[in-house]
Amino acid sequence: MRRPIFALTLALAACSILYELVLAQTLGALLGNTLLRYNVTIGLYLAALGAGALLAPRAEGGDPAGTLARIEWPLALLGGAGPMLFFLWDAAVFRAARAMGIAFRGFLYQAAIYGFDHAVIIAVGILSGFELPLLMRLAEREGPDPGAGSAVLAVDYAGTLLGAVCFPLLLLPRLGLLGTAAAAGLVNALCGAYLIIRRARGPSGGRLALAAATLGAACLAAAALAYNPSLERLASASFTLP
């Protein structure tokens, strides 16, 4: 039965586009010139997806479900915390530059801001890039069907559309940037938990450690979602000048 794989693909594709949109929107809010931020973020993210897709076969190790599960918990943490990391890092660099008398348009300031922010985008993109090749591999293992990979790819596109539509119409107005990222992180962690329980192979000790990491990621994402209003105030306060 490939239906669980298709459901996973739909959910993970939606989360991936949500990370991309949330990170782009956050950079636009922090750094201005939203059009430029969106274009650079999308370009970097797509390139990072390609890098992750290239690395996925090397990391599979004969257990695509286990490899995918090992990807989900760090993706949940980094993707779910990405916008907050932007707020805190940019505020910290701003305060440090002001205290040290560094020009805000100078090379050091710009390198610190742009280097960190875009490194986060690349890291999230690479982790997300692992997903589609591994999902296609899982679908192919379900039985001899030459169209299995194409079906997974089609569902992936549908999930991307779902996330892209839900972001401006439903998620952003209700949850904001931080809450949307946390919700996507929670979905990633839950997908990882399903893979561990139903599909992953390997020594019980390794699976137990993976389950603990996934549970921790899920709890952190759920806590961030529950305390989203407080986190939004913290993010705003980080840029309030004394």
Domains of the chain: 3-237 (1.20.1250)
| Band of residue 242 on the pLDDT scale cut at 50, 70, 90 | very low
What is the pLDDT at residue 176? 94
Is pLDDT at 241 greater than 50 in this prediction? no
Average pLDDT of the segment spanning 36-48: 94
Compute CA distances 1 → 10, 216, 217, whole Å: 16, 30, 28
Average pLDDT of the segment spanning 89-102: 83
User: pLDDT of 45-67, one tens digit each?
Assistant: 999 999 999 999 888 777 888 89
Residue 126: burial class (beta carbons within 10 Å; 0-12, 13-18, 19+): buried
Cβ contact 23:86 at 8 Å: yes
Average pLDDT of the segment spanning 140-160: 87
Residue 128: burial class (beta carbons within 10 Å; 0-12, 13-18, 19+): buried
User: pLDDT of 182-202, one tens digit each?
Assistant: 999 999 999 999 999 886 666
